[in-house]
Amino acid sequence: MLSREAAGSRQLPHTRDAKTLCPYCGVGCGIIATTDGSRITKIRGDNHHPANFGKLCPKGATVAQTVDVRTRLRHAMSRSSRAQEPSCVTAGEAVQHVADRLNHILQSHGPEGIAFYLSGQLTTESQYLFNKFAKGYLRTNHVDSNSRLCMSSAASAMTLSLGSDGPPTCYADIDLADTFLFIGSNAAECHPIVFGRVERRLEKRRTHCVVVDPRRTKTAESANLHLAVRPGTDLALLNGLLYLLDMWGKIDPAFIAAHTEGWAELRAMLPQYPPHRVSQICGIGVPELLQTAKTIADAKRLITFWTMGVNQTLQGTFTSNAIINLHLATGQIGKPGCGPFSLTGQPNAMGGRDVGYMSHLLPGQRQIANADHRLQIERFWGLPQGTIYPHAGYDAVRMFDALESRDIRAIWIVGTNPAASMPNLPKIRRALERADLVIVQDAYYPTETTRYADVLLPAAVNLEQSGTFCNSERRVTLMEQVVKPPGEAQPDWWWPRHVAAAMSFTRGMWFNTAEDIFDEFARSTAGRPNDQSALSHATLRAKGPQIWPCPALGAPQERRYTDGVFPTSSGRARFFAREHLTAEEKTTAKFPLLLTTGRVANQWHTRTKTALVPALGKGEAAPSVHMHPADAESLFLQDRQAVTVHSSRGESATILRIDAAMSPGLVWMPIHWNELWGKRASCNEITTDASDLQSKQPALKCCAVSVTARADDAAEPETATAVAPLAIVHRHV
Ligand SMILES: Nc1nc2c(c(=O)[nH]1)N[C@H]1C(S)=C(S)[C@@H](COP(=O)(O)OP(=O)(O)OC[C@H]3O[C@@H](n4cnc5c(=O)[nH]c(N)nc54)[C@H](O)[C@@H]3O)O[C@H]1N2
Ligand SMILES: Nc1nc2c(c(=O)[nH]1)N[C@H]1C(S)=C(S)[C@@H](COP(=O)(O)OP(=O)(O)OC[C@H]3O[C@@H](n4cnc5c(=O)[nH]c(N)nc54)[C@H](O)[C@@H]3O)O[C@H]1N2
Ligand code: SF4
Ligand SMILES: [Mo]
């Protein structure tokens, strides 16, 4: 009954080179993988790929070591009660089981009882099919993704200010720019190949770099100027910079008059941000502020990169709007070598946003709340008018709230590990415990989330399938399949395709290849701001990676908005006058320190892959909380001492690291070490799920905590080897 037409059974030629992509970050580096027919024998950077021109960082270079490993999920598993351990079932049995249980929930609770939590690490084809299955066939809009924790603020700001999601810039602009501003981005560790390109540019004369980050990061070390702002104060900084630029006559009145709206209102607000006030709010000196403003005023070509230090704050959308304000006011957009450049976190978060895998979106940058957009997609999918439910579904945080309150009964989690990566984990665990049905589709086992699964579906990783990813500069690359997936693992789209068939949703879900799904997706974007209708797997194979917009009639655009026309209702870009609010979580006598969280260069998120590569575990390979020497001294804490970090939500067991890169009063924890490493090791035991009102993105970058010595050695995280904790649990399966 089940077709094995997908990647698993395709005949693959023996020794050969295949063009594929790095599965890690949004830089989207091209890889040439050599295979002997069954194994990957060599990985090297693709010299012709415009994202990396042959370069790879240590994660990308070692990706072959994460494929054929003991911790791969090879077979489907299921259980009928949580009291049992899951046992292996065939793919056919798993499909039928999922179909029966979803049918049951549809009948007892209606479509709104079912939710999907997807990932920016899936192919566009898989993201598209899950979204279509849920919104078009099951008729639930409770489809969200880990992009809610990641890109949501930048995406909503680009849509509000410019009329379309997706950055206006491209990587080639880096080679043309003379000034770089990094706000809340540690690109040296998180987007290393892009940052390398910036560093090469900085070797040239008359180039400048300013980094705004509360920590002295590796990125900050390469900069001419580092502004160690207080967390959550970037909006005040940006308003203060624009105030100075305007006062100095360093704005572009002609651009403002011809291509924008809302300047008068914004300009009227700016005098509230004089240097002395901004310096107080941000905790930086007036001279540094003036120097930054002068650097920007003198810039002929400015690129502003921003990521999680902005997006994961309560004013993430407004701060992103303010970054765009700066570029609109100075006319530094739509021209070579300049523009606001939101770097994408995950390798295919841009593709996910293009297919509309958020609870408020439909394919082709369409909005669920827009009746015309719904009708267009209903027609396109061949569904009766009124099929798509007219209201947005729950965002990620609200989705888990609804699971806890039993509004939602079933959740299908694909390619993400919420029991480690969501804020306020004590609540997430309660939600998963209370669910009637948890389906976890992952490539590895165990993860922090698999322990809650009633059904486990094995997924192929990207080197085992063909499909597309779209990177930070909006470039779509075709990944060729390199090796076969293990056991009964399948490309992610295969599972909803077959579950849909078992639920008798055949028409419209009957795809047999990723190529067919891509063709439909590409057509869905025709005429939209993210038009990719000229693309197909065949075109991408023949012509190489392509940037969108790439309409069927017309040339692709590396740089958007070169004509000064924006896809808003008026054709003008919009200024937004956004006030800085002191809304981030406040320190108290009980929780006197601010915690921020983030990444290190050689680990990837919850480490299901990077824990498998011993070379990446060298150096700082354990959970930690970093603290300024003065704070450690006043708390009588020693370097490498076992400590507990407390917040009003929970506590995290970790190791203290004294670190002069921290500002006094601020502590920092990496996100990579979670429950599989040690009990309560995750920073998300304590983070807040309070969210930005516009984007619904949680403020993962700032919460109030205290740090105390930990006496209980028994609860200390295991630190034997980087791989052991995963392997130990795995052996029990
Ligand atoms: N090595 C590695 N690379 C990755 C990833 C990974 O797991 N590992 N993940 C990928 C993904 S999905 C993402 S989203 C990106 C994230 O890439 P980044 O956003 O660069 O990484 P983070 O470490 O999360 O946060 C960046 C910086 O924000 C700072 N910050 C915290 N609060 C504030 C604030 O209020 N204002 C300012 N200005 N800065 C603040 C932190 O100190 C931190 O240095 O990385 C991608 N690349
Ligand atoms: N405190 C704090 N929390 C954060 C952040 C932060 O900065 N601070 N950052 C947030 C951000 S920006 C992000 S993007 C999230 C990331 O959080 P997650 O998405 O939870 O992190 P990953 O470890 O990448 O999880 C990916 C999961 O998919 C599996 N997987 C890998 N490849 C495939 C595949 O091809 N198919 C399938 N089905 N599964 C696969 C992996 O084994 C893993 O279990 O974390 C968020 N959480
Ligand atoms: S920079 Fe990102 S995409 Fe490139 S090799 Fe490193 S992790 Fe992979
Ligand atoms: Mo992310």
Query: For residue 493, what are the CA distances in angstroms to 6, 418, 616, 723, 729?
Result: 10, 20, 31, 30, 28
In angstroms and rounded to an integer, the radius of gyration of the C-alpha atoms of the chain is 24
Whether the predicted pLDDT of 727 surpasses 80: no
How close is the Cα of 55 to the center of ligand 3, in Å? 9
Give the model confidence (pLDDT) of 404-434 as tens digits. 999 999 999 999 999 999 999 999 999 999 9
For the four alpha carbons of 60, 64, 70 and 76, in that order, the dihedral sign comes to positive
| pLDDT on residue 728 | 34
State what percent of residues in the chain have pLDDT above 90: 92
How many Å apart are CA 155 and CA 357, to the nearest integer? 13
Whether the predicted pLDDT of 600 surpasses 90: yes
Comparison of pLDDT for 37 and 362, the residue scoring more: 362
**304, 198 contact by CB (below 8 A):** no
Considering every ligand atom shown, identify the ligand nearest to the alpha carbon of residue 121 and give its number. 2
3-class state of residue 634 by DSSP = helix
Instruction: Give residues with Cβ within 8 angstroms of 19, minimum separation 6.
Output: 30, 31, 32, 46, 478, 479, 480
Give the model confidence (pLDDT) of 609-664 as tens digits. 999 999 999 877 789 999 999 999 999 999 999 999 999 999 999 999 999 999 99
Which of 594, 595, 606 is the best mutation target for the ligand 2 pocket, counting ligand atoms within 8 Å of the beta carbon and taking the most?
606
Protein residues with CB under 6 Å of any ligand 2 atom: 119, 121-122, 146, 149-150, 308, 312, 345-346, 414-417, 420-421, 441-444, 447, 459, 461-462, 492, 597-598, 605-606, 608, 671, 683-684, 687, 700
Closest ligand 1 atom, residue 151 Cα: 14
How close is the Cα of 244 to the center of ligand 2, in Å? 40
Judge if the beta carbon of residue 213 lies within 6 A of ligand 1.
yes
Considering every ligand atom shown, identify the ligand nearest to the alpha carbon of residue 60 and give its number. 3
How close is the Cα of 117 to the center of ligand 2, in Å? 11
Strand partners, 670: 598
Which of 62, 195, 308, 472 is the best mutation target for the ligand 1 pocket, counting ligand atoms within 8 Å of the beta carbon and taking the most?
308
| pLDDT on residue 715 | 45
Helices (H), 406-551: 418-421, 425-434, 494-502, 514-524, 537-543
Whether the predicted pLDDT of 725 surpasses 50: no
Give the model confidence (pLDDT) of 68-101 as tens digits. 999 999 999 999 899 999 999 999 999 999 999 9
* pLDDT confidence bin for 10, thresholds 50/70/90: low
**670, 600 contact by CB (below 8 A):** yes
3-class state of residue 290 by DSSP = helix
Lowest-pLDDT choice from 3-7, 198-202, 375-379, 572-576 = 3-7
Lowest-pLDDT choice from 22-31, 182-191, 223-232, 575-584 = 575-584
Give the model confidence (pLDDT) of 484-524 as tens digits. 999 999 999 999 999 999 999 989 999 999 999 999 999 99
Judge if the beta carbon of residue 212 lies within 6 A of ligand 1.
yes
Judge if the beta carbon of residue 215 lies within 6 A of ligand 1.
yes
| pLDDT on residue 556 | 79
Query: For residue 317, what are the CA distances in angstroms to 12, 160, 307, 339, 358?
Result: 46, 9, 11, 17, 16
Protein residues with CB under 6 Å of any ligand 3 atom: 22, 24-25, 27-29, 52, 56-57, 59-60, 192-193
How many Å apart are CA 684 and CA 428, to the nearest integer? 10
**198, 187 contact by CB (below 8 A):** yes
Considering every ligand atom shown, identify the ligand nearest to the alpha carbon of residue 195 and give its number. 3
**118, 391 contact by CB (below 8 A):** no
For atom 12 of ligand 1, the residue with the nearest CA is: 345
Start-to-end CA span in the chain (Å): 29
Q: What is the signed CA dihedral for 96, 99, 104, 106, rounded to 10 degrees? A: -170
How many Å apart are CA 160 and CA 172, to the nearest integer? 25
Task: Over range 23-32, report the average pLDDT.
Answer: 98
Of 454, 344, 352, nearest in space to 130 by CA: 352
How close is the Cα of 448 to the center of ligand 2, in Å? 11
Whether the predicted pLDDT of 361 surpasses 50: yes
Which of 149, 603, 687 is the best mutation target for the ligand 2 pocket, counting ligand atoms within 8 Å of the beta carbon and taking the most?
149
Query: For residue 564, what are the CA distances in angstroms to 33, 162, 166, 316, 677?
Result: 41, 11, 16, 26, 51
How many Å apart are CA 518 and CA 527, to the nearest integer? 17
**371, 385 contact by CB (below 8 A):** no
Cis before 446 (ω within 30)? yes
How many Å apart are CA 652 and CA 167, to the nearest integer? 36
**316, 149 contact by CB (below 8 A):** no
| pLDDT on residue 712 | 60
In the chain, the domains with their CATH numbers are 5-66 (2.20.25.90), 77-148+347-513 (3.40.50.740), 152-343 (3.40.228.10), 593-728 (2.40.40.20)
| pLDDT on residue 516 | 98
* pLDDT confidence bin for 582, thresholds 50/70/90: confident
Instruction: Give residues with Cβ within 8 angstroms of 259, minimum separation 6.
Output: 328, 564, 565, 566, 572, 573
Helices (H), 407-525: 418-421, 425-434, 494-502, 514-524
| pLDDT on residue 588 | 96
| pLDDT on residue 2 | 55
Whether the predicted pLDDT of 683 surpasses 70: yes
Interior angle at CA 153, CA 645 and CA 603, nearest 5: 50
* pLDDT confidence bin for 11, thresholds 50/70/90: low
